[in-house]
Amino acid sequence: MPPLANPPVRSRRRAPALAGAAFFAAVAVVPAGPAQAVVLEVAPGLGAGVTNNATGAATNQIPNQYEAYGSVRGAAALVATGAGGVHRLGYMFQMTNYAESRIADNTSHDVRWQSALNLSARTELSLGANTALYRYSAIPTTDPSGGNTISAPIGTPATSVVNAGANQTLTYQPTGRVRYAQALVAGYIKPLDETNQVPNMLTLTATGRGEWGAGRDALTLTAMVTDMFRLDEPAIAPASNYQLMSQLLGGYRRELSANASVEGQAGALAFFDTTAGAVAMGPAGAATGTYRRLPWFATLILMHAPTVNIYSAEAIIADSATARLSLPLNRRETLIIAGFGGYTYARRVTGQSHFVFAPRIYDLFTLGGSLTYRFEKMPFIVALDYLATTQRGSITDGTTPDMGQRVYPSTLRRFIGLTVYGTLAWGEGQHGFMRQ
């Protein structure tokens, strides 16, 4: 499910062909209706800024010295819209260079396909896939609407990684008071460089949710199961080749007004580790508060849940708090400020150390902000972004294993940058710089 500011990515050679075939296949199976309207979007961009840690190394391995970076990016997408749904096939390219840490220079690519299908008046289906490659050192983009503060890099040198995934979501609403949803997500990660710290891993997640409501009140029931498969031979313990995580949560949602809502969930979670032959069980829960009044929103999310740290192939318990905010600063909504902040406390759970006594392995502070200006007569945006992550690891020197367990070093990363980007579109109602 989605990450903290996703790094730029690069696809394999076959990815464009496979994604293109999937895109046109999805368009072909849309129920009959009015002709599809196809729009071509092109989005160029330039960026520059400074960072104190280009490679994401551990705090003890680098001095706290800032250096400049520059980036060039471009994206293209085909968007087909019709009575049967919306389909998007996109590609993004980015090149980032650093003034001193040349080992962290990288060229990245990203190919993605996503389709939202209206199967009937009560049923919707979403399908998607991506193939990508990125480096941990790549400059992330501030994303106040979807930042993920759960997983953190473990301070390895710059490493190229292949990342592929697929997702499917089906929703069915038989009545105005009842709604069911089902989702499947698959993810794959593989390092291309020789390293024993970045895993080769496959994750599969299945989710089911039901909502039953009357008026402003709704009861919810959510079940989630995640399988994590380690496909290589880890050099650092714990050498868990297969782990299973599950949650069962019952909840209550209250619509406070047309713009505000709160939701609380509580239940149980369980771990199963085939390598260690261990089973661990305990409580799980989440609380969410949301206020949305276009064009601005604010959310607060508190969670106690299992998750997979993709940088270490380890299932952990994460206690997290995340706040997000976005609002315009003028009436014309050309100047917008947005930001997010989060804290995560991660613990390792095994059959021998359950939730009450589970040892801390790291905690993570994240803070990001963006000030953007949107031109009224041209489709371009200027953004000033800031992102800071501070990970306090379970050791002090970043090198010494602790009782045969994987250790997490302390890391400190700061970015501040200025980006100019835009979206030009050609198609129905779109004519490059001119919009109708």
Q: How much is the pLDDT for 15?
A: 41
Distance CA 20, CA 361 (A): 42
Distance CA 191, CA 245 (A): 24
Q: How much is the pLDDT for 215?
A: 81
CB-CB contact of 108 with 133 (8 Å): yes
Domain count, the chain: 1
Distance CA 424, CA 36 (A): 20
Q: What is the dihedral of CA 355, 356, 357, 359, to 10 degrees?
A: 60
User: Which structural domain, as residue segments, surrounds residue 127?
Assistant: 15-435
Distance CA 314, CA 362 (A): 13
**Which tens digit of pLDDT belongs to each residue from 138-191?**
666 555 444 444 455 555 556 788 899 999 999 999 998 999 999 999 999 888
Q: Is the pLDDT of residue 212 over 80?
A: yes
Is residue 2 in some structural domain?
Answer: no
Residue 128: how many CA atoms within 13 Å on its side-chain side?
25
Cβ partners under 8 Å of residue 311, min gap 6: 136, 151, 152, 153, 154, 156, 198, 199
Q: Is the pLDDT of residue 313 over 90?
A: no
Is residue 61 in some structural domain?
Answer: yes
Is residue 288 in some structural domain?
Answer: yes
Is residue 133 in some structural domain?
Answer: yes
Looking at residue 76, which CATH number applies to its domain? Answer: 2.40.160
- Rounded to the nearest integer, the mean pLDDT of the chain is 80
Q: Is the pLDDT of residue 267 over 60?
A: yes
Is residue 342 in some structural domain?
Answer: yes
**Which tens digit of pLDDT belongs to each residue from 359-397?**
788 888 999 999 999 998 888 999 999 999 888 887 543
Is residue 372 in some structural domain?
Answer: yes
Q: Is the pLDDT of residue 77 over 50?
A: yes
Q: How much is the pLDDT for 183?
A: 98
